[in-house]
Structure 1
């Protein structure tokens, strides 16, 4: 009885088996509801095909339409845009969170630009970069960079001031405080920020591949919509979700490998 009550205690750990079981249950319930709606005839196949039709469409896409090529093209574009945003955004965010002069100079500008939708800049990106891969990577970069940088800044700013003051009291130099206190204390939050923003990068995929793309999951989804191939659209969406889960699990594995002291027993 106490174990059952613990499941609803805020922030309390739960057994790993329970955690995994609940995760599986959520997907089973989704699949069950989907099956009831489609096999039961409550929703026409044009709007929501059955799970069986989705599987059949996936087989066709992989065997006849070289879906693997589209997946690899999209992964390359999203990864390229995300890595470019991370290479620039992480150091800039750390500097903004550590030094007020950088925050005052950069943060208002980033705060202004981050409200501008990436899709609105597509005509300019085409004008500046053409219709090749650079334009698509630029859309994903623009949609990811500002949020990533500001989140890294917040993580760095939230490093305990007591730790910094203690380091100064012990005679650590300003440079030493940065390298030995601020940066190590920020790294867990930075890795978690990268995990979250990599997911955001995928949300810009379809937007990036709308214009002049001949490959990619976004391109396949838009082409399928044009010909009312709903099952193909859902296959593309599911594949993006599966890739997202794999990336998320990879980041979580990396997180606990780098910072094992932050792992709490009972939850993977």
Structure 2
């Protein structure tokens, strides 16, 4: 097979399903074969029973809704600021020179290190948890949007000038449309990152949420609940990813990819 050669959608889906099946088989072998203690690795059956119990008593849905609200709020606040700023930095060098050094510096600082400050500034309520999601997402997001905008071909801009476009019309009619597919893809990727900060955001001062449920279950050794909550986070993240892929394919049908 040639490098980067396209494959059929059925083969692509089949390979993905095979990967999940392989992981499930390994999990089942380790758990049912008692190769790993049950206190460390619950069986798939136990995880399924725990999930049903948590659905029936409403706790799983409650935790999932709270966490979805926190992640979505932090992500949206980040996107509203990061997308225009990233476009600005990718279009004008003065903005790039002013913002990039500091953003490049701050993005290496872990969001968890700022939790004590966020608690002092915002308290233990929802704003603190949303801020952790925002902080963990924003700096990567703005730099990725900047890169997308910077990569608009210079030839495209020069042609627009040749055809008579001037000033803001080049920005509005050339740079923005050319950048938009990459920006939507960046939002899809960074929404996934936002989910990875959930447990960190809910580790302090929370009484609900999937991250809180994971930490609470860990205190009492309920590995089944830990697995249920982790898998739920993965499922919610996958759903948001599919939503963004759907939006991408609807808005940019001319750029549809094999994936």
Q: Which runs of 4+ in 1 moved over 2 A?
A: none
Aligned to 1:219: 212
Q: Where in structure 2 are the equivalents of 1:248-259 lying within 5 Å?
A: 248-259=241-252
Which residue does 2:45 correspond to in 1? 52
Quote how far apart the aligned CAs of 1:61 are: 1.6
Residue 156 of structure 2 is matched in structure 1 by 163
Map of 2:143 onto structure 1: 150
For each residue in 1:7-36, what CA deviation from the matched residue of structure 2 results, as whole angstroms up to 9, or x when unmatched? Answer: x32222111111111111111111111111
Deviation at 1:64, TM superposition (A): 2.9
Residue ranges of structure 2 left out of the alignment (5+ in a row): none
Distance in 2 between the 1:245 and 1:77 partners? 17
Give the equivalent residue in structure 2 for 1:30. Answer: 23
Of 61, 74, 77, the match for 2:70: 77
Q: Secondary structure at the match of 1:172?
A: coil
CA distance in 1, matches of 2:172, 2:55: 49
Counterpart of 1:173 (choices 142, 166, 169) is 166
Map of 1:4 onto structure 2: none
Matches within 5 A, 1:1-268: 8-64=1-57, 66-264=59-257, 267-268=258-259
Q: What are structure 1's unaligned runs of at least 5 residues?
A: 1-7
- 1:28-84 Cα distance to aligned partner (Å, 9 max, x none): 111111111111111111111110000011112222362111100000000000000
Count of aligned pairs between the two proteins:
259
Aligned to 1:5: none
Specify the SS of the correspondent of 2:40.
Answer: coil
Cα RMSD, aligned residues only: 0.9
Deviation digits for residues 153-173 of structure 1 (CA, Å, limit 9, x no counterpart): 000000000000111111100
TM-score norm. by structure 1 comes to 0.95
Distance in 2, matches of 1:12 and 1:180, equals 33
Q: Matched residues in 2 for 1:64 and 1:172: separation?
A: 62
